[in-house]
């Protein structure tokens, strides 16, 4: 089969959408399919043999990310020359709209991915009045597709209740060969200034307003006060990633450790060298980092939705709190961090719970979904003929 994947973001950019798209592309290649990748051009880069690069503009407040400009005519010409059997559109920007429009005009089946709650972002960035308009824009975009792909059953139900049609679940997985407790690095921990027996709280992800970072700070400060009161070594809060809120966060908290963006083996070492993953975000559609922390043997404190709802059992792998329970989130960070024996048991249980998740299964499920769309369109064409 020949598939086209259209995305506004792709590595070396580091975010959940970019990495998920790359994994899907690699998974389809591994299954023997031809994959054409359509994405924005960065500066003057040249396209690889399987890529189509389109004109782009920088995305405000997100350094390194670029917004693909409309490219309907180019896509029409490209897909008339080399028609894909199905198209997957991962992002809802101008390039994504162009791809859906071109696929529909040519009668090519198209699936979209719901990766980002832009309606929630409108609220988090102070534009709450625009939230209904953003939701309507998302609904119109995805309802033009033959299927909208999401990672959890919870999100399937939510989107269907909001008027999204043809929503399908394709579960996610985590690479337990890359992420694991064996990656723990004592030299790295020493570089963070941790004494023997000290606790490292860690946050991995974009440092941005939509991630609810103030709660992470308050939870850590509560933990810090408690550990000082009982005479435990000074903890550290380690931040892996970058984003528009980093400068202010670093200015206001000079004792925090900022490691910047980490990739590959280095990211796995940072994850495994933490003792507690603090993840207060309300805005994830899934949250791949939850699975990566669990695979790394790091107890996780998160809210009970997305990946946490699917995989994180409260009290067994860490804590999964109701979305409105900030006080419970703060209390859980302290309670789990100070109990070394319980934290060790949670680390082992979390690792075991995700060990059966395999990325090749995700690629297979994704392939089956795209193939079914292509075969259904072929059947419809034969009936009409």
- The answer to whether the beta carbons of residues 313 and 194 sit under 8 Å apart is no
3-class secondary-structure state, position 299: coil
**DSSP-derived secondary structure for 199-216:** -EEEEES--SGGG-HHHH
Beta bridge partners of 201: 237, 276
Q: Which class is domain 181-354?
A: alpha beta
How does strand 257-260 pair with strand 318-321? unpaired
Same fold yes or no, 2-173+358-384 and 181-354: yes
- The pLDDT assigned to 384 comes to 47
Residues 300-359 pLDDT 10s: 999 999 999 999 999 999 999 999 999 999 999 999 999 999 999 999 999 999 999 999
Task: Give the length of the chain.
Answer: 385
Rounded to an integer, what distance in angstroms lies between the CA atom of residue 115 and that of residue 24? 13
User: What burial class does residue 11 get, using C-beta atoms within 10 Å of its C-beta: 0-12 exposed, 13-18 middle, 19+ buried?
Assistant: exposed
- Per-residue pLDDT of the chain (385 residues), as tens digits, is 999 999 999 998 888 889 999 999 999 999 999 999 999 988 778 777 899 999 988 877 666 677 889 999 999 999 999 999 999 999 999 999 999 999 999 999 999 999 876 656 656 555 566 778 888 999 999 999 999 999 999 999 999 999 999 999 999 999 999 999 999 999 999 999 999 899 999 999 999 988 999 999 999 999 999 999 999 999 999 999 999 999 999 999 999 999 999 999 999 999 999 999 999 999 888 999 999 999 999 999 999 999 999 999 999 999 999 999 999 999 999 999 999 999 999 999 999 999 999 999 999 999 999 999 999 866 565 544 4
Fold of 2-173+358-384: Rossmann fold (3.40.50)
- The pLDDT assigned to 201 comes to 98
User: What burial class does residue 82 get, using C-beta atoms within 10 Å of its C-beta: 0-12 exposed, 13-18 middle, 19+ buried?
Assistant: exposed
3-class secondary-structure state, position 57: strand
- The pLDDT assigned to 15 comes to 83
**Where in the chain are the domains?**
2-173+358-384, 181-354
- The tokens for 145 are 């597709």
- The answer to whether the beta carbons of residues 111 and 369 sit under 8 Å apart is yes
Rounded to an integer, what distance in angstroms lies between the CA atom of residue 333 and that of residue 20? 28
Reply yes or no: is the peptide bond before residue 12 cis, omega within 30 of 0. Answer: yes
- The answer to whether the beta carbons of residues 72 and 102 sit under 8 Å apart is yes
- The pLDDT assigned to 63 comes to 64
- The pLDDT assigned to 385 comes to 45
C-alpha R_g of the chain: 22
């Amino acid at each position: 089969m020949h598939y086209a994947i259209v995305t506004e973001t792709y590595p070396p950019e580091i975010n959940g959408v970019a990495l998920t798209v790359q994994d899907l592309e690699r998974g389809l290649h591994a299954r023997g399919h031809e994959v054409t990748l359509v994405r924005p051009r960065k500066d003057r880069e040249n396209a690889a043999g399987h890529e189509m690069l389109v004109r782009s503009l920088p995305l405000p407040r997100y350094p390194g990310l670029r917004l693909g400009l409309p490219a309907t005519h180019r896509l029409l010409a490209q897909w008339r020359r080399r028609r894909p059997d199905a198209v997957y559109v991962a992002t809802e920007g101008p390039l994504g709209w162009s791809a859906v429009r071109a696929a529909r005009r040519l009668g090519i089946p198209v699936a979209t991915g719901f990766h980002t709650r832009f309606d929630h972002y409108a609220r988090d960035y102070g534009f709450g009045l625009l939230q209904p308009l953003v939701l309507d824009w998302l609904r119109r975009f995805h309802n033009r597709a033959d299927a909208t792909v999401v990672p959890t059953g919870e999100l399937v139900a939510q989107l269907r209740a909001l008027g999204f049609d043809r929503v399908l679940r394709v579960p996610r997985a985590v690479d337990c060969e890359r992420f694991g407790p064996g990656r723990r690095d004592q030299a790295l921990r020493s570089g963070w200034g941790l004494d023997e027996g000290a606790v490292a709280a860690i946050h991995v992800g974009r440092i941005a307003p939509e991630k609810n970072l103030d709660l992470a700070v308050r939870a850590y400060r509560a933990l810090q006060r408690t550990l000082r009161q009982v005479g435990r070594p000074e903890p550290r809060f380690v931040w892996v990633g970058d984003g528009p809120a980093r400068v202010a966060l670093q200015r206001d908290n000079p004792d925090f450790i900022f490691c910047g963006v980490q990739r590959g083996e280095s990211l796995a070492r940072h994850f495994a060298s933490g003792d507690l993953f603090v993840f207060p975000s309300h805005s994830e559609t899934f949250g791949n980092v939850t699975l990566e922390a669990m695979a790394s043997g790091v107890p996780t404190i998160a809210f009970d939705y997305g990946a946490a709802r699917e995989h994180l059992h409260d009290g067994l792998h860490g804590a999964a709190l109701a979305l409105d329970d900030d006080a419970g989130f703060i209390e859980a960070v302290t309670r789990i961090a100070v109990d070394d024996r319980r934290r060790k048991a949670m680390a082992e249980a979390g690792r075991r719970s995700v060990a059966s998740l395999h990325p090749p299964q995700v690629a297979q499920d994704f392939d089956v979904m795209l193939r079914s769309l292509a075969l259904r369109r072929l059947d419809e064409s034969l009936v009409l003929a």
